[in-house]
Chains A and B, each alone.
Chain A
Amino acid sequence: MIPAAWICLFAPLGAAIAITLAGNRLSRRAAGYLATTSVLVSFVAAVVSFAFLLGDPPDNREQYSTLWHWLTAGPYQFDLRILVDPLSTFMMLIVAGVGFLIVWYSIGYMDGDDEERRYFAYMALFVFSMLLLVQGGNLLMLLAGWGLVGLSSYLLIGFWHERPTAIAAAKKAFVMNAIGDATMALALFILIQRDGTLNFEVVFSRTGSLGTWAANLVALGLLGGAVAKSAQLPLQTWLPDAMEGPTPVSALIHAATMVTAGVYLIVRTNALFEAAPHVQELAAGLGAATLLMAGLIALVQTDIKRVIAYSTMSQIGYMFLAAGLGAYADAMFHLMTHAFFKALLFMAAGIVIHALADEQDLRKMGGLRQYLPKTYWAFLVGALALTGIPPLSGFFSKDALLAPALAHGWYGQLLWVAGMVGVFLTGLYTFRMLFLAFWGEPSPFVQEHFHALKRDVVGVSLAVPVGVLTVLAAFAGWIQVYNFWTPISNWLDPVAPPLVTASGLQEAATSVIAVALALTGIGVAWWIYAARRGEAPRTLPLLQHKFYFDELYDALFYRPAVFLATGLYRWVERPLVFGSLRELAAAVRELGFETRSIQTGLVRTYVLAIAASLAVITIVFVVVR
């Protein structure tokens, strides 16, 4: 089991290195196959680990494995170690499995791009980083994976580096992630100082000795990192811009895996968060606020990928809500189903974009149902799953998320209301997108620019993963049904025992109301966008400007920084630094000029120098004697 875990971790890294070193000797398609195969190997290894772990008794499912002692300094020692336990195998399966499908899909999507090899190297690097994050056996490995994932995201968002918008988006993502990294590092410093190590088993068992101040700071630091990585309030502005990257990147990184790392973090370090209950409640509150805000903004977006991006932001808000209230297994369950149907939506949208020669504007689309029937069905399944219509997967996971909130007291009930409003909004914006793109008469743009996909390697690589995900999005929800059948909760129980469980009545009530609200949302969308019997209300500027967060951060951080930088340049760097250098050079030159006058060329001068020196030396000798 342990060797399988290590193979799972390092296979994608090997592929990334191999592609980088092979360079032009590897054909572009071969690079794609290499990357895909390595992630498949990863997935198989993850399945093997999972199978072996299943064979262990439930209370003995925590296996650490150290490769070598990485940092040793005095009493501190940090190792390169991984952990194979229920939570990490759960994540390994999702990351490797969905990753494999998406990398396979990329072979078709990125076909013909000049820099395909670089793309696949980056994708393999990303899968490795994400696996390191989820498999890390101490907080330092987790942080290492965290940083590497941020790097891969930067590299992949800015993949088409000739576009200035892509570069700017990559920088924005990286800077906001770096803020999270910084707060996380500070939290880790406190932990090192208090506990002397970052190993999970020590840190999680000693939370009692932290003291309230330290516990709150640590939890806040970790929450900062989670918020940055998962694009929650207040660090959410980078996610929509990240859609500048290729669609498979959006599917893998910004829907299925990287942005869910924040949720994973909270679930993994639940002991630390439970030691700081107010911070945990803050996490839930941020999640709720984000899901509402994102849902509202998604209503007015015109770019198909951005609608899905805001939808991701909103769904992760749900997961934060659940994790913040202590329903860890439910959050992870939703993470799994969300990975399936969100990746599916992105990939289907990718097929649409490809078919329309890279057009992403919803207003130009219409009637694609006739042109891309299979894609339409895939998209429909994804949309229904997202909205939470039974019997698709989203129904089981989303209701399981919201029901425990009712059991948490007045705060939880408030959040429950927010979640319900979010369900309505989800139905509305999702089906707005679907109706605009696929229903109605084919728009002139579509008629002019549509070209069908061929049934070759590219076509297969685009179609099969979408098909697989459609099936998963439809049926994966049946793996956990309320309180009747809870394999996921049982599986994750040793690692993250839930703080709240909903009663049967709360669950039933939640389900009914949620489905009703979802259907209402779909109905309103149909009324306005499909049947065209109603007029869409005028869009609020507040929503169109995404609640003015970008402008706020621009005024709050960017402008002062630029002002400070220009000021420093003009008043400090130019006069002081350049000036002093210039003065120094001038002084040296002057000194040389003066010294030149000693060389008169006359022998007399030199003899005079000798005579004068003699006179002086004589005095010295006389005095010393």
Chain B
Amino acid sequence: MTNSIRELEDAKVIFVIGSNTTEAHPVISYYIKRAVKKGAILIVNDPRRIDLVKWATMYVQHKPGTDIPYINGLINEIFKNGWEDKKYLAEHTENPDEIREWVKDYPVEKASEICGVPVETMKKVAEILGKAEVANVCYTLGITEHICGTDNVKTLANLQMVLGNIGSYAGGLNPLRGQNNVQGACDMGALPNVYQTYQAVDNPAVREKFEQAWGVTGLPDKPGYMKPTMLHKALTGGTKILYCVGDNPVQTDPHMANTIKEIEALEFFVCVDIFPNLTTPYADVILPDCAWGEVDGTFTNTERRVQMVRKALEPPGDARPHWWVLQELAKRINGYDLGFTSAEAVFEDMRKTSTSYAGITYERIQDIGLQWPCPTLEHPGTPLLHTSGNFTRGRGLFHHTVHIPPAELPDDEYPFYLSTGRRLWHYHSATQTRHSVGLEEIFPEELMEISPVDAERLGIKTGDTVQATSRRGEITLKAWVTDRSAPGVCWCAFHFVEACGNVLTIDRFDPVTETAEYKVCAIKIEKVKDGTEPVSWAARQARP
């Protein structure tokens, strides 16, 4: 995030797109609700009528996979009415004349035809954004989980630069990053092309720095594969061994049947996890991991805040902290002793070779976390980025983005859009949450959300059993007839092995990030049998 979470409650205009905030980021949603209570204008843009809509000043229901034409249409309207921030464009951006021309390809009338949002609604949204002193943009996987996810993000960046909202308190461009520590995992270099704090592996100076720091030679000089490529290459022998930590790819990757095929093609597969899951049966070796309450360490949240987590319980059985497991492996594979004695020792080693974390120590974050960049022990951390209007490259560069339709659209054979995501009561592949009796009681099985219009046409009511089929597989589950879904759009999650959305999803990826297009594929829905009991608990899904 360019800004901090707490700033949200002081925002005057909040533009949420592709984020089911109340369910996926419930804490952050409280700040949005507080802002609304204080008079903020909230514009919720989502193909689904998510619960946050109940708090919205305006709800915009665009078709899945049409974010670029929708946003470009708004930018065009902003320019057309002279609502752009001329001073910001002149002083802090490189090519404002280009973006002005590019978005002329998306007059609101044309954009409206593509994205399905009425022209007048688009004009109203553009006016609110264009006349706002500052607007805050929040987005999540509804933006990134498309084959054009990178361009979706760039288009939002274009919007915020046109409006001069980058670097402003309670404004900015704010990806609400998933899970408690996905930001931290990236910061630590759990990526194929960078060491910790984004130091590129193919930069000779960086490589030399780490070789000196660690007393080794021959560190790789080119990036590794991203996860989808890793798995694809298993089929051709390019990937022979996979070491999988805290991940359940059979359930969470798209096109489950293909994922299984790829994993089965590996010569050696190691899983490290806290419980058996859908992936562990394919492992040659399973190593027991510690759960979050059983280890010391840090989490870095979406606002770049590094926070302490402390061990509260002894891990069960043979479970060990994962840093210890990796150290033992290094010893046994090539006799190299990393020499760590604690999680703090690992953090210190990382901190001293990092850039933006160099000033963060366990001692400094005992009570309240620090937000990076925090480059020295004296530095207080950085809650808000780009206040000077400067970017790493100098002036902000607008990118030309055009509508890229989803890889698979509904047709006669598979007439519905399927979009997938997360529910409030379960977490990811539910390896943890389905071990909770309480959560199982609250939300015990997956439901296919279907619009009342489609349900009536197909003779389906809530609680009926339906079969959802895509070109990749089929699942059987109960229906939930709800106006959360627009006509023609169905939705389900991937938390439940018994009816996992990823049996159906398509394995097509954004070419830059290799993020899968979880948000759009085509399915058909058929009723299997009438429901025999009410599914009254479905309403618990939503909590305003």
Say whether A and B bind each other: no
> Residues of A with Cβ closer than 8 Å to B?
none
